[in-house]
Structure 1
Amino acid sequence: MSSRPLIGVTGPDRGGLAAWMASWFAVRRAGGRAVRITPRRPRAELKLDGLIIGGGADVDPVLYGAHRHTLLEDYEAAEPRLGQRLLGLLVYPLLWALRRTLLTHAPEGDADRDHLEQALIRDALDRDLPLLGICRGMQLMNVVCGGSLHQGLEGFHEEHPQIRSVLPRKTVALAPDSVLRQILGCERCPVNALHDQGVDRLGEGLRVVAREANGVIQAVEHTERRYAIGVQWHPEYLPQKRSQQALFRALVDAAHQKCEV
């Protein structure tokens, strides 16, 4: 390549340093230049060649016409038996305090980031700018396209326990005729999992291209764009996996082709 395409990587104003550094490294390895974009530093003056919408705070449910579930409501939905509900009532205050203390972003969301990233996603789709949504980024892509989200995935995990790990401990099945499967080069792929939410109603123009065994949607792609893919997992945290690095390489390649048009 004669020059390295410029890839914007979104994140929060506070925290998110590990995700930014991992994404920077992945983009650099793939032949691109990464620039960090946050609500306080939107970098509107830059001419981006590609865009990564990163992970982080939950998407505001108001954006898809829902009210925010409390942690207690999530317990009651997932644990319907009386004894388990009583246990949830006891555990709820402790979990609430831990989330407030340990999370690098506000558990109630990040309105400024929602606003910024919605605009970036719309602009990317309008201009056919290569776009990769990671975890929250995939969820927000779906919302921008008119879809909705499950605010809690507890009900999906009765037979397949919820796994939260930066290591590739889940396996997803890829749609046979998808761009994603072509990029990853496999029918089934081990991935990590750091999410609590997921896609519910699918947005317009999107198709499901990966699921886990319990049916949770793990990846989507836009049917009318050259490269607009969302994955529920965090490929930036799997630098040892060639298949995951291929996601960034495909993004940078698409961005390079965009530069030449």
Structure 2
Amino acid sequence: MSKPVIAITGPRRGAFGPRFMVSCAVRWYGATPLQVRPGEDITELRYDAVVVTGGHDIDPVLYAEEPEVHPKYDPERDTLESAVIDDALIRGLPLLGICRGAQLLNARRGGNLFQDLKSKRQLTSNRRTLLPLKTLLPESGSYLANLLRTERCRINSLHNQAIDRVGTDLLVSARDLDGIVQAVEDPGRAFLIGVQWHPEFLLFNGRQRRLFGALIQAARERL
């Protein structure tokens, strides 16, 4: 049986750590990683599933709003990943959006974002950390809850923005202690999930690895 090819998106330069860790997870489950960068013609690429990695905030023009903060945007990455997400949605490919990937998925489905979370946090720290120091509360009965097999677990957090209005056909599948959306999913798809945390940096945890295993299994079932 041929191995599924998993497209891993990111910026033109840098982001070695996330790309490498996602590649490790992909190989762990017997699939082939394909690094996709801005400037590439995705119509010439063959892939069976997608991981949209984290990074800079997405430009609020993508969800028809004015900027409230002024972080560094990456318009060529926004363009690439918007095209990859749209392609995955059209073709029904399994997709995992990580951090900005979850936010961009939500925007492509017509949702929007909180551009600055500081005022929204009361029970959780605004400090960014790779360590699993924040609490995730999966929604009972969601695909994510069934996958993680827990009512509560610890996650990391590197984001300062998050989903506000949820996009079309997406459901909230996890929140944190402040009620901030931490994951969305489309129950009408075999695998379409966006998570605000970074499971690629928690691969020592079997629960977190299941996200990648389920993505790749969904891709394998399409071959």
TM beyond 0.5:
yes
Contact 1:125 1:225 in 2 (8 A): no
Deviation, structure 1 residue 42: 4.5
Deviation per residue, 1:150-177 (Å, 9 max, x gap)? 1110111234221311011111111111
One-letter amino acid matched to 1:116: L
Contact 1:50 1:131 in 2 (8 A): yes
Deviation per residue, 1:212-232 (Å, 9 max, x gap)? 010110000013211000000
Root-mean-square deviation (Å): 1.2
Q: Partner residue of 1:143?
A: 107
Paired-residue identity, %: 43
Contact 2:162 2:180 in 1 (8 A): yes
For residue 143 of structure 2, the aligned residue among 166, 179, 197 is 179
Matches within 5 A, 1:30-179: 30-70=29-69, 107-179=71-143
Q: Partner residue of 2:196?
A: 232
Deviation per residue, 1:132-155 (Å, 9 max, x gap)? 000000000000000000111011
Deviation per residue, 1:84-127 (Å, 9 max, x gap)? xxxxxxxxxxxxxxxxxxxxxxx421111111111111111111
Which SS does the other structure have where 2:131 is aligned? strand
Matches within 5 A, 1:5-44: 5-44=4-43
Larger radius of gyration: 1
Q: Partner residue of 1:92?
A: none
Contact 2:69 2:115 in 1 (8 A): no
One-letter amino acid matched to 2:28: R
List gaps (5 residues or longer) in structure 1: 72-106
In structure 2, how many angstroms separate the alpha carbons of the residues matched to 1:140 and 1:26? 22
Total equivalences in the alignment: 223
Matches within 5 A, 1:206-225: 206-225=170-189
Q: Partner residue of 1:88?
A: none
Contact 2:134 2:156 in 1 (8 A): yes
Deviation, structure 1 residue 43: 4.7
Which SS does the other structure have where 2:221 is aligned? helix
Which SS does the other structure have where 1:236 is aligned? helix
Give the direction of change, closer, same or farther, for the CA distance of 1:151–1:250 in structure 2 (3 Å limit).
same
One-letter amino acid matched to 2:176: E
For residue 202 of structure 1, the aligned residue among 157, 162, 166 is 166
Q: TM-score, normalised by structure 1?
A: 0.83
Which SS does the other structure have where 2:155 is aligned? strand
One-letter amino acid matched to 2:39: R
One-letter amino acid matched to 1:111: P
Contact 2:69 2:116 in 1 (8 A): no
In structure 2, how many angstroms separate the alpha carbons of the residues matched to 1:57 and 1:192? 17
Deviation, structure 1 residue 66: 1.0
Contact 1:30 1:245 in 2 (8 A): no
